């Protein structure tokens, strides 16, 4: 059994309609390809709002931390989400 030491990432996407989508992953390139329909998978939310583009991501030490940050980002306003993911705020 091999250990996957890849960090978890919280990421923020901008959809073609201007809305934002926040999620977590261990493989940002694969997940972005899924959201854009290039690979199977991806969120139902982004499937009708393609193409999407990555606005920012942050590495987390584990899945638990990534989920907690994702939930904090999701309950914020659009401007707060952008500021946080672009590094203007320390933590939400």
- Of residues 77, 79, 61, the one with CA closest to residue 6: 61
Q: Where do the DSSP E strands lie in the chain?
A: 8-14, 20-25, 53-60
Mean residue pLDDT across the chain? 89
Q: Quick one: angle between helices 78-85 and 63-74, nearest 10?
A: 140
pTM score, two decimals?
0.87
Architecture per CATH, domain 8-85, reads as 3-Layer(aba) Sandwich (3.40)
> Predicted confidence band at 1 (pLDDT cuts at 50, 70, 90)?
very low
Enter the tokens of residue 8: 């978890």
Map out the domains of the chain as residue ranges. 8-85
Q: What is the pLDDT of residues 38-58, one digit of tens each?
A: 999 989 999 999 999 999 999
């Amino acid at each position: 059994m091999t250990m996957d030491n890849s960090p978890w990432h919280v990421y923020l996407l901008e959809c073609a309609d201007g809305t934002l989508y926040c999620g977590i992953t261990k493989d940002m390139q694969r997940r972005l390809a899924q959201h854009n329909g290039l690979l199977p998978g991806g969120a139902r939310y982004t499937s009708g709002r393609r193409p999407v583009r990555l606005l920012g991501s942050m590495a987390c030490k584990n899945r638990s931390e990534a989920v907690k940050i994702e939930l904090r980002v999701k309950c914020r306003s659009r401007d707060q989400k952008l500021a946080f993911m672009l590094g203007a705020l320390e933590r939400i």
